[in-house]
Structure 1
Amino acid sequence: MSTAKDLFITVMDQRPDDPVGQGDLSLALAGAELIDLIGAGAAAVDGELVLPGEDPKPYDRVLDEAAAGLVREAPHERIEDWLWRRGQGLAAGYQAALEEDGELARERGGRLFFGTKHVTPADTPARRSAADRWNEREPVLLALASALGVDAAEPRNEPDLGADEATTAVVAAVLDALMELEAVRQRRSIENAAFANVWRGP
C-alpha cells in the first residue's frame, strides 16, 4: 500500500464521527503521493520545485497516474502548485480506487464519507498494515495525519522526519496549503454572512 492509501484508511479509522474535509484530505493525499514518488525515484525535489526522477515506474497504479502528471520540462512546478493541481478531487479518486480494490466496503449502516455512498474500511491485510504503521507512529504518516487534525487527543509533538529534506519540504508545503484553504473558507464565510445581513436588513 502507498502512503496515500494508508493515510486515507487511517483518517477513516481515526475520525469515524468527525470526517476530514474532502479538500483538506485531497491536499494531504497529493503530498503523500509526492513523498512516495520521491521514495520510488520517480520524482525529486530541488528547493521548492518538483522534478521528474529517473525511474518513471512507481509500484502503484494510482501513483502511476501521479507520475504521468509530473511536469517534465522547465519551468517545473513548485511543490505547492503540485498539491493544488494534483489534489483536485483526489480524495474521491482514492475512495473509488480503494473500493475497486476491495479495501472499502459499502454497508447500509456504514459511515458516509464522500458522496452518497456509505463505506467503511474492509478488514483486509492492507487495513491492518496501515494500522500497524499508525500504531508504530511512522513519521511521514503521523505528520500528514497530524496536519489534518487526526490524533488531536494526544500531545502534538512534531514528528521526527530526520534529515530527509525532500519529505520535510513536502510536509511543510502541505501545512501551508491547508492553512491557505482554511483562510479561503473563513473569507467566504465572512462574505456570505455579510451578504446575508444585507438581505436581512436592519
Structure 2
Amino acid sequence: MTTPRDLLIIAIDRASGHPVEQGDLSLALAGAEVIDLLGAEAIRLDDDRIVPGLRPALPDRLLDEAASSLAVEAPYESVDDWLWRRGRGLSAAYLAALEAEGQLFRPRRHRWLPSGNSRTELVDSPTRRRAAERWTSGEPVLGALAAAVGVRDERTADAPGLSDDAVARVLGAVHDAVSELAGERQRRAIEDAAFDNVWRGD
C-alpha cells in the first residue's frame, strides 16, 4: 500500500460524521505522493523544487503516473505548484482506483431517496486493516496528512516529530495549501452571501 491510499482509507473511515473537503483531500494526496516518491528515491528536494532521481518500478499505478508526470528539466517544479497541479481531481482518481479494485463500494440508492444520501463504504480487507494499523500506531506522516484535512484524534496530537527535513517541508506545504483553499472557500461564501443580500434587497 501507499501513503495516499492509506490516507484516503483513513479519511473515509474516520470522517464519516464530518466529511472531508474533496479539494483538501486532493491536495493532501498529492503531498502524500511526493513523500512516497522521496522514500522510493524517485525524487529529491532542492530547496522547494522537486528534482527527479531514480526511476524505479513503482507497483502502484497512480504513484507511477505521478512519477511519470514530474517536470524533468530545470528549474523543475516547486512542491506548492505540484500540489495544485497534480492535486486537481486526485481524490476522485484514488476513489475510482479503490472502487475498481473492490476495496470500496457505493451502496445502491433507492429511487425514493435523494442522491445525497449515498456514501462510499470500505470493504473489510487486508488493505483497510493495514491502513488502520498504521493509523493506530501513531505514524507521524499519516497523522500529519490526516490532520491537514481535519481528521485527527489523540494519536495524531501525541505523534512524534519528524526527523526528515524534506518530508517536513512537504507536510508544511500541504498545510499551507489547504489553508489557502479554506480561505478561498470562505471568500467565496462571503461574496455569495453578499450577492444574495443584494437580490433580496437586504
Whether these two folds match at TM > 0.5 is: yes
Counterpart residue number, 2:34:
34
Counterpart residue number, 2:103:
103
Gaps of 5+ in 1: 110-114
Counterpart residue number, 2:132:
131
CA distance in 2, matches of 1:121, 1:33: 21
CA distance in 2, matches of 1:74, 1:147: 30
Question: C-alpha deviations, 1:85-110, integer Å up to 9, x for none?
Answer: 0000000000000011111123237x
CA distance in 1, matches of 2:156, 2:5: 23
Counterpart residue number, 2:149:
148
Residue 60 of structure 1 and its aligned partner are, at CA, apart by 1.1
Mean Cα deviation higher: 34-43 or 51-60? 51-60
CA distance in 2, matches of 1:32, 1:132: 18
Q: Aligned with 2:58: secondary structure?
A: coil
- Residues 155 and 99 of structure 1, relative CA distance in 2, 3 Å threshold: closer
Residue 56 of structure 1 and its aligned partner are, at CA, apart by 4.2
Counterpart residue number, 1:112:
none
- Residues 155 and 98 of structure 1, relative CA distance in 2, 3 Å threshold: closer
Equivalenced residue count is 196
Gaps of 5+ in 2: 110-115
User: 1:25-174 residue pairs with structure 2 within 5 A?
Assistant: 25-108=25-108, 118-151=119-152, 153-154=153-154, 157=157, 159-174=159-174
Q: Does 1:180 align with 2:202?
A: no
Letter in 2 for 1:121: L
Question: C-alpha deviations, 1:61-119, integer Å up to 9, x for none?
Answer: 1101000110010121110110000000000000000011111123237xxxxx99642
Letter in 1 for 2:144: A
Letter in 2 for 1:137: G
Q: Aligned with 2:108: secondary structure?
A: strand
Residue 194 of structure 1 and its aligned partner are, at CA, apart by 1.3
CA distance in 2, matches of 1:167, 1:87: 17
Residue 57 of structure 1 and its aligned partner are, at CA, apart by 2.7
Letter in 2 for 1:11: A
**Same amino acid, percent of matched pairs:** 53
Residue 157 of structure 1 and its aligned partner are, at CA, apart by 3.2
Q: TM-score under structure 1 normalisation?
A: 0.91
Q: Aligned with 1:107: secondary structure?
A: coil
- Residues 61 and 117 of structure 1, relative CA distance in 2, 3 Å threshold: farther
CA distance in 1, matches of 2:185, 2:137: 34
- Residues 117 and 34 of structure 1, relative CA distance in 2, 3 Å threshold: farther
Letter in 1 for 2:175: L
